[in-house]
Amino acid sequence: MREEVSQENDEKIAFLVQSGKVEVFSILIKRYEDKIKRYSRKFLSDKEDINDVVQNVFIKAYENIQSFDTKRKFSSWLYRIAHNELVNALKKKKKNPLLLFDLDIFFPQQFHADNSIEREIDRQDAKEIIDKCLDKLALKYREPIILYYFEELNYKEIADIMRIPISTVGIRIKRAKELMKFILKK
């Protein structure tokens, strides 16, 4: 049964869990454990904290799986849970978490892909560069750029995870790239 199901997509497996086939939930854990761990590692340094966050993400995912709409992407839904868990973990650590009220989510903003920056920070090299600059980036810029380059999510998915306007995602990624360019030049 598990071998057959393991070929299915995330949404189909989530549907099976919703229908009572609890054992196949382990397939989703296997598929996403490393990704969630990698994502958490960008915000937390303590190994135990990271493991706690990962564990809590999957526990919350199981508890709330009936709220998942199988017509939508499972990964975005899971990253939303991970985002909330990380915000809570950072709050506990008293590291300034993502602000609830930030001016850039209030007003509409125009953003255009800056080709010159795009060329400089090629997508292939991006991960390496981001890793170098990550500690110097504010959390509000760090999260969208990680989700975009490392988790390869699009702006709409990032907006759904962070519950911020799509234009804000674009602006924050653009600013993060500009900041990284500045940091690299120094």
Partner 1 sequence: MADTNNQQQNSISDIVLNKIKSGGVKMRPKIYFVLKTILIIFGTAVLTLLILFLVSFIVFAMRASGTLFLPSFGVFGLRILFISLPWFLIFATVISVILMEILAKHFAIVYRRPIVYSILFIIILVLLGGIIIERTRFHPSLFWRSQEKRLPIMGGFYRDPSITRLQNVHRGIISEITSNGFLIKKPDNQMLTIIVTPDTQFLPGREIKEGEAVVVMGRREDDTVYAFGIRRIEDQFNMFMLEHRPPRPMR
Q: Closest distance between partner 1 and the C-beta of residue 59, in Å?
A: 5
Residue whose tokens read 């600013």: 175
Rounded-to-integer distance, Cα 96 and Cα 99, Å: 8
Q: Which of residues 11-40 bind partner 1 (CB under 8 A)?
A: 18, 22-23, 25-26, 29-30, 33-34
> CA 45, 139, 168, 66 torsion: positive or negative?
positive
Q: What is the nearest approach in angstroms of partner 1 to the Cβ of residue 90?
A: 20
Query: Rounded to the nearest whole angstrom, what is the least distance from the CB of residue 1 to partner 1 in the complex?
Result: 15
Pairwise CA distance, residues 88 & 25, whole Å: 24
Minimal distance, residue 39 CB to partner 1, in Å: 14
Exactly one of 85, 89, 160, 176 binds partner 1 (CB under 8 A); that residue is 160
* Closest distance of CB 22 from partner 1, Å: 6
Cα–Cα distance measured from residue 25 to residue 50, given in angstroms and rounded to the nearest whole number: 21
- Give kind and range of the element (H or E) at residue 76: helix 74-92
For position 66 contacting partner 1 by CB under 8 A, the verdict is: yes
CA distances from 59 to 22, 62, 80, 85, 114 (A): 12, 5, 14, 11, 40
Residue 183 binds to partner 1 (criterion: CB under 8 A): no
| Residue numbers 135-154 binding partner 1 by CB under 8 A | none
Q: Given the rule CB under 8 A, which residues bind partner 1?
A: 18, 22-23, 25-26, 29-30, 33-34, 51, 54-55, 58-59, 62-67, 105-109, 156, 159-160, 163-168
